[in-house]
């Protein structure tokens, strides 16, 4: 099943009078969506009781849950205190995911820092090997999605993400096409560019990963440093265009989870993407 849903809560959710994220699963299901990425970017500050209730409601309404882990995680850091806190944020995200019944957590790899990219990536590989050895055995069935990032000084080119995912099979990519577009200074111009991205993932990680991809999508504004900010489909001067990707998803029978990150209009743009894919099915 292809899944579509928002990253966090759109403006329209609150405008409709809703307050609690516990109301989200029913709200999304009635809108025709079936995924929800719960945001813990500023820390995992959720009670176990809340996680269980959200999980029950998601199951009742057929919503696939994922969690966005804290932005403070920095896998490539040389600082032992930041390594320690990154491991703690990952552990808390995994624990919240287990309580919710969420199958995926999304993690930003962090910044390049003072040394070379290669040094930072090598440190990230070592920290992820530690995550796989020390944390993951208690959280079987939960995948850790490593996100492609939009700013050039962040770790998270497609090649870097593929390399980090090869550390353990529990690591899979979260392919943010807007971010790849921004860090490539407008790199995604059409279907060939999407095809190439998917072929590189296939070559590095295998066809099953491509088949069940975790996708973040929004249009995006960029400058010479890469990402400036996420935009919405209504702001038509920004790319990339989702339509060629919709064609590929339909043609190849891919089963991605597609999360809209259009600021304030995540629900509306998730529905727009669903319609585009359905148009080609």
DSSP letter, residue 212: T
C-alpha to C-alpha distance for 269 and 260, rounded to whole angstroms: 6
Nearest approach in angstroms of CB 106 to Zn ion is 6
Name the site residues for Zn ion (rule: CB under 5 A).
Answer: 147
**Shortest Cβ contact with Zn ion: which residue?**
147
Nearest approach in angstroms of CB 71 to Zn ion is 8
Q: What is the largest CA-CA distance in the chain?
A: 50
DSSP letter, residue 114: S
| CB closer to Zn ion, 57 vs 154 | 154
C-alpha to C-alpha distance for 168 and 152, rounded to whole angstroms: 25
Q: Which of 53, 51, 58 is nearest to 34 (CA)?
A: 58
Nearest approach in angstroms of CB 77 to Zn ion is 18
C-alpha to C-alpha distance for 161 and 175, rounded to whole angstroms: 9
| CB closer to Zn ion, 57 vs 222 | 222
| CB closer to Zn ion, 40 vs 249 | 40
| CB closer to Zn ion, 46 vs 57 | 46
- 5 — phi, psi (to 5°)? -175, 175
| CB closer to Zn ion, 57 vs 232 | 232
212, 171 Cβ separation under 8 angstroms:
no
Nearest approach in angstroms of CB 69 to Zn ion is 9
C-alpha to C-alpha distance for 230 and 59, rounded to whole angstroms: 30
| CB closer to Zn ion, 147 vs 268 | 147
C-alpha to C-alpha distance for 57 and 20, rounded to whole angstroms: 12
| CB closer to Zn ion, 34 vs 154 | 154
Bridge partners for 36 per DSSP: 65
Nearest approach in angstroms of CB 171 to Zn ion is 15
Instruction: Count other Cβ atoms within 10 Å, centred on residue 253.
Output: 9
Which residues lie below 8 Å from residue 204, measured CB to CB, with a gap of 6+? 159, 162, 163, 165, 166
Nearest approach in angstroms of CB 217 to Zn ion is 12
The two three-digit tokens of residue 151, written as one number: 């700013």
| CB closer to Zn ion, 147 vs 269 | 147
Nearest approach in angstroms of CB 68 to Zn ion is 6
Nearest approach in angstroms of CB 108 to Zn ion is 6
The two three-digit tokens of residue 86, written as one number: 């990154």
């Amino acid at each position: 099943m292809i899944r579509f849903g928002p990253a966090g809560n759109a403006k329209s959710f609150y405008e409709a009078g809703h307050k609690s994220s516990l109301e989200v699963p029913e709200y999304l299901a009635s809108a025709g969506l079936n995924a929800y990425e719960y945001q813990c970017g500023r820390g995992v500050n959720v009670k176990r009781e809340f996680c269980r209730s959200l999980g029950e409601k998601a199951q009742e309404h057929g919503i696939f849950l994922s969690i966005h882990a804290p932005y403070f995680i920095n896998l490539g850091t040389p600082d032992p205190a930041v390594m320690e806190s990154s491991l703690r944020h990952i552990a808390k995200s995994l624990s919240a995911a287990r309580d919710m019944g969420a199958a995926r957590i999304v993690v930003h790899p962090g910044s390049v820092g003072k040394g070379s990219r290669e040094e930072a990536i090598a440190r990230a590989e070592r920290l992820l090997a530690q995550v796989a050895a020390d944390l993951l055995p208690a959280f079987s069935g939960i995948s850790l999605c490593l996100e492609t990032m939009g700013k050039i000084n962040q770790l998270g080119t497609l090649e870097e993400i593929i390399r980090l995912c090869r550390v353990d099979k529990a690591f899979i990519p979260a392919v943010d096409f807007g971010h790849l577009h921004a860090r490539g200074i407008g790199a995604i111009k059409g279907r060939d560019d999407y095809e190439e991205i998917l072929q590189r993932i296939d070559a590095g990680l295998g066809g099953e990963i491509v088949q069940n991809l975790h996708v973040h999508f929004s249009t995006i504004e960029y400058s010479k440093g890469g990402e400036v900010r996420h935009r919405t489909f209504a702001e038509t001067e920004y790319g990339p265009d989702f339509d060629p990707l919709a064609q590929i998803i339909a043609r190849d029978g891919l089963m991605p989870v597609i999360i809209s990150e259009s600021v304030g209009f995540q629900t509306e743009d998730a529905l727009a993407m669903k319609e585009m894919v359905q148009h080609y099915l």
